[in-house]
Amino acid sequence: MQISYETSGTCATQINIEIEAGIIVDVEFIRGCAGNTQAVAALVKGMPVAEAVRRLKGIACQGDTSCPDQLARALETAAP
């Protein structure tokens, strides 16, 4: 499953995600802080979607959201 999620309230403008059998295969942030977004993407690879959402949802950076929080929100759209 491929997801392309338009972010809101972050420096990153979009997140592209690939999921297979409930496991995150790949994540790509468009724009944003390169080091941080690459690190988050690398850390969630191979992680179950539900676990990534549990760990990342609610993390704040600028205001009440962040790139990790936006990733969690994007992953929630893939939930059955």
Residuewise pLDDT in 10s, the chain (80 residues): 999 999 999 999 999 999 999 999 999 999 999 999 999 999 999 999 999 999 999 999 989 999 999 999 999 998 76
Domain CATH code at residue 23? 3.30.390
Distance set, CA 50 to CA 30, 75, 78 (Å)? 23, 8, 10
Q: How far apart are CA 8 and CA 57, in angstroms?
A: 14
Task: Provide the whole-model pTM.
Answer: 0.95
Number of domains in the chain: 1
Calpha distance 16→77 (Å, rounded): 12
Residue 64 sits at φ, ψ, to 5 deg, of: -105, 15
* Measured distance CA(30)–CA(58) in Å, rounded: 20
Q: Which domain holds residue 71?
A: 2-76
